Amino acid sequence: MQPDLRPPFRGLSYHQLPALLENLPTPCYLLDERRLVENGELLAGLQERTGCQILLAQKAFANFGLYPLLAPYLAGTEASGLFEARLGSEEMPGKEVHVFCAAYREEEMGELLNYADHIVFNSLNQLRRWGPLAKEAGKSLGLRLNPEFSTQEGYAIYDPCGEGSRLGVTLASWEAEGGPELLPLLEGFHFHTLCEQDSPDLERTLAAFLEKFGPFLPSLRWLNLGGGHHITRLNYDLPRLERILEGLKERYPALTIYLEPGEAWALEAGYLVTRVLDLTRNGSVHNAILDASAACHMPDVLEMPYRPPLYAAGEAQEKAYTYRLGGPTCLAGDIIGDYSFERPLKVGQPLIFGDMAIYTTCKNNTFNGMPLPSIILLRRDGQLQTLKSFGYEDFKGRLG
């Protein structure tokens, strides 16, 4: 392999690779402690300079064995339901636990109140139903709003402001369903409209939000700007974000401003290591079958879809030898993508996909009885530490 110092491989030392690959089982997720700390330090600095509070959205990264590493840098966790709320409460004690769910279940609400500090509702119906109970329990209540301002390009599945969206209360619904009357129950507003985006997208969205809902903010205690902020990306416009946050604080000095990115905490801080199992050819297409699966181990490749970065590889036809990389499952579409290499691939050769800490360990599955990859930590001293291994019982235990 040749050196590749571009994102998301900046954390890998080229001289470390041979020893690393020799000692790693495949497939495995390799989490990079140094990069996690670097991301945490950047986000902590943003909080110190602007006074905002940044949460870890566990839907993107929930490897709780590393929560002690991140805890000094963040204000708390954000959950999408009971289990994540409990995880944040138990594994990051002393930190805030925020939860948003599109609709809460009656049989879970009592237990949820044991773990969550902030509860955000998705509709005025749910606020009316559960708000008084949560308020009596001493929780800080919020309402998710929909500014109806879309900044997504090509990813409709990730656009909460799309036509007919079920996420968030529009201004028309707020007015027609008696939103102003429920303000005494509320301490905060929440909106979440971004996905892997930069601060100019937040700036435009915030302007649309304030135009519609700004008049109600002086009666509140906090405003949550949601997630999707790619703050730790190499070319992210951080100065603009700081100006946005400082402007909000100047305009609404009584508000605590929250952000809840998931990816930013673990961006470029993990890899998926795999090996070539077989090489086949069908017409002009050279196929390389790996022991890692897009469908099972990197589901966003198919869901989003996107082409994950691969160490020392190029676009199709960019280098001398092009292969279509796919998984070993029976799904014909279990395709990771077409990549090119300086030399022909060989059976048994290791490959390293980048940016695999996020939306992988928390989304993977055992379709076809595929084993789950081990989770291994690459510590700052270069040592490897196995955090979790999986076997047959993990597959069987989900099905009994």
Domain end point (choices 244, 265, 286):
265
pLDDT at residue 190 greater than cutoff 50: yes
pLDDT digits over 268-327, tens only?
Answer: 999 999 999 999 999 999 999 999 999 999 999 999 888 999 999 999 999 999 999 999
In a domain, 2, yes or no: no
pLDDT value for 2: 46
In a domain, 1, yes or no: no
Co-location of 207 and 88 in the same domain = yes
In a domain, 90, yes or no: yes
- By the 8 A CB rule, do 39 and 232 touch? yes
Co-location of 24 and 70 in the same domain = no
- Backbone CA torsion sign across 307, 310, 315, 317: negative
One-letter amino acid of 2: Q
- By the 8 A CB rule, do 136 and 157 touch? no
The rounded mean pLDDT for the chain is: 94
Using CA atoms, how far apart are residues 129 and 133, in angstroms rounded to an integer? 8
Averaged pLDDT for residues 177-192: 97
Q: What percent of the chain has pLDDT over 70?
A: 96
CATH number at residue 378: 2.40.37.10
pLDDT at residue 5 greater than cutoff 60: no
Query: Is 3 in a helix, a strand, or coil?
Result: coil
- By the 8 A CB rule, do 271 and 353 touch? yes
Co-location of 234 and 273 in the same domain = no
Averaged pLDDT for residues 234-260: 97
pLDDT at residue 212 greater than cutoff 70: yes
Range of the domain at 162: 51-265
In a domain, 40, yes or no: no
DSSP secondary structure string for all residues of 378-389: E-TTS-EEEEE-
Co-location of 234 and 283 in the same domain = no
Q: Which residues pair with 285 in a beta bridge?
A: 282
In a domain, 253, yes or no: yes
One-letter amino acid of 16: Q
Using CA atoms, how far apart are residues 301 and 307, in angstroms rounded to an integer? 6
Co-location of 276 and 261 in the same domain = no
pLDDT value for 3: 45
Co-location of 222 and 314 in the same domain = no
* Neighbour count for residue 296 (Cβ, 10 Å): 24
| b/e 201-221 (16+ beta carbons within 10 angstroms → b) | bbeebbebbbebbeebbeebe
Co-location of 91 and 220 in the same domain = yes
pLDDT value for 15: 54
Using CA atoms, how far apart are residues 198 and 195, in angstroms rounded to an integer? 9
Co-location of 92 and 195 in the same domain = yes
CATH number at residue 241: 3.20.20.10
In a domain, 133, yes or no: yes
pLDDT at residue 14 greater than cutoff 70: no
pLDDT value for 11: 61
pLDDT digits over 366-382, tens only?
Answer: 999 999 999 999 999 88
Domain end point (choices 246, 265, 284):
265
Number of domains in the chain: 2
Co-location of 260 and 279 in the same domain = no
Co-location of 173 and 215 in the same domain = yes
* Neighbour count for residue 198 (Cβ, 10 Å): 19
Averaged pLDDT for residues 66-75: 98
* Neighbour count for residue 49 (Cβ, 10 Å): 12
pLDDT value for 153: 76
Q: Which residues pair with 388 in a beta bridge?
A: 375
pLDDT classification of 341: cutoffs 50, 70, 90: very high
Domain end point (choices 222, 250, 265):
265
In a domain, 9, yes or no: no
pLDDT at residue 49 greater than cutoff 60: yes
CA distances from 28 to 7, 93, 335, 374 (A): 20, 29, 18, 5
Strand ranges (E), the chain = 28-32, 53-57, 76-79, 96-100, 118-121, 140-144, 188-190, 222-224, 256-259, 270-282, 285-290, 321-326, 335-341, 350-354, 374-378, 384-388
Co-location of 80 and 66 in the same domain = yes
Co-location of 79 and 161 in the same domain = yes
In a domain, 321, yes or no: yes
Averaged pLDDT for residues 21-32: 92
- By the 8 A CB rule, do 56 and 64 touch? no
